[in-house]
Amino acid sequence: MYRVASIGGDGIGPEIIREGKKVLDAAGEKYGFDIEWHDFNIGADRYLETGEVMTEDDLRELGRFRAIYFGAIGDERVAPGILEKGILLRIRFHFDQFVNLRPIRMLSGTTTPLAGKGPGDIDFVVVRENTEDFYVGIGSRFRGSQKTLLSVERELYHAEFNLDIESDADELAYQIGIISREGAARVIRYAFELARTRRKKLTSVDKANVLSDIYGLWREVFSEQATRYPDIVTEFTFVDAVTMWFVKNPEWFDVVVTPNMFGDIITDLGAMIQGGLGLAPGGNINPGGTSMFEPIHGSAPKYRGLGIANPMATIWAGSLLLDHLGEHRAAAAVVSALETAISDRVVTRDMGGSASTSAVGDYVSQAISGN
């Protein structure tokens, strides 16, 4: 018996989580385990009714579970950032979910915008650091004369600026990224261990040639950790270059480890080359604590209640959840069943089909039961 927290969230979130739970329950019946679901009312509706985004009681209760199954967050009735920061980011930071795990894999039967590439070429994993870098929230904005702002800029960046200090009042904004040695080391170690279970190649992404302080430390830590894993082939690549190689030669990659901001960018590119956001799952992982699994797409409020949302990314996120719980055969069966549904064209309209959200969930569940 596994106890799992469930947060449907906003928009299409409750619908796609419902199908994901249906599939995971089918996997449990097939492979001999049960999931006891505990549903949490967290999202826009509660916020608009009570003013509460995420309470200490919510976090305390969620901390009783090894895994959280999450739908989607975001509502046009609420200003951008309130729900995203107050729920998603707060969960990630509170539970120290320092690994964002994003499989970039093209399933059989899907299409990719990359000419001449197929499932054999697109099969890698991005390990994104999830709690540091430019997401720690250190930043501010200043208004004042150019003379005042130049003083602030020099203080922040130790640089000289050739600007007219007599010009009218202006505004300055800054954001500070932070990488700690241990923060980098633990996620890089996770990536090395993952590479050992795959094709034993690890690519590190940074921008150390320009942002040499923050990403110079990242590169240094990666090199130090690499000495402990002589069986793993390693390489460095700059973030601008890796976007090019994802498109031109995705088959080069096995496991990719990256700081937070760059990971945020390149994983959306990865989602597109694997077949679209409707097929992109993610895991926010604390190996020793509470982890959260979700599709990477948004809540799509305009499609709420229409029964046309694609649940496949959520179902795949459920596979990651099962892997996290140690149910590896069941996790693999879920992905295989997704491929069956895709090959049989039981897909939603965003993938060129006509199946409803629930029909996809039913078909994937039946494919698991028949495996």
Q: Is 212 left (phi over 0), alpha (psi -120 to 50) or beta?
A: alpha
Spatial separation of the C-alpha atoms in residues 111 and 276, rounded to whole Å: 9
178-220, pLDDT tens digit by residue? 999 999 999 999 999 999 999 999 999 999 999 999 999 999 9
State the first-to-last Cα distance of the chain, in angstroms, to the nearest integer.
22
Domains and CATH numbers, the chain: 1-109+278-371 (3.40.718.10), 112-132+179-274 (3.40.50), 138-175 (no CATH)
H or E segment and range at residue 265: helix 260-274
80-119, pLDDT tens digit by residue? 989 999 999 999 999 999 999 999 999 999 999 999 999 9
How confident is the model at residue 31, as a pLDDT?
97
Two tokens, residue 93:
């930071």
176: pLDDT strictly greater than 90: no
Q: Residue 165 — very low, low, confident or very high, per pLDDT cuts 50/70/90?
A: very low
Reduced to 3 states (helix: H, G, I; strand: E, B; else coil), residue 125 is: strand
CB 34 within 8 A of CB 45: no
List, as one string, the DSSP characters of 307-333. S----HHHHHHHHHHHHHHT-HHHHHH
**Of 1, 17, 41, residue with least CA distance to 299:** 17
CB 250 within 8 A of CB 114: yes
Q: Where are the alpha helices (DSSP H) in 177-228?
A: 181-196, 214-226
- Would strands 255-258 and 281-285 be described as parallel, antiparallel, or unpaired? unpaired
Give the CA angle between residues 267, 221, 155 to the nearest 5°.
Answer: 85
Q: Residue 137 — very low, low, confident or very high, per pLDDT cuts 50/70/90?
A: confident
288-342, pLDDT tens digit by residue? 999 999 999 999 999 999 999 999 999 999 999 999 999 999 999 999 999 999 9
254-289, pLDDT tens digit by residue? 999 999 999 999 999 999 999 998 999 999 999 999
Two tokens, residue 338:
């997704």
Spatial separation of the C-alpha atoms in residues 280 and 296, rounded to whole Å: 6
149: pLDDT strictly greater than 80: no
Spatial separation of the C-alpha atoms in residues 89 and 219, rounded to whole Å: 26
162: pLDDT strictly greater than 90: no
**Of 136, 175, 145, residue with least CA distance to 157:** 175
**Paired strand residues for 204:** 236, 257
Contacts of 94 (CB under 8 A, 6+ apart): 59
Q: Average pLDDT over the chain, rounded to whole?
A: 92
40-81, pLDDT tens digit by residue? 999 999 999 999 999 999 999 999 999 999 999 999 999 998
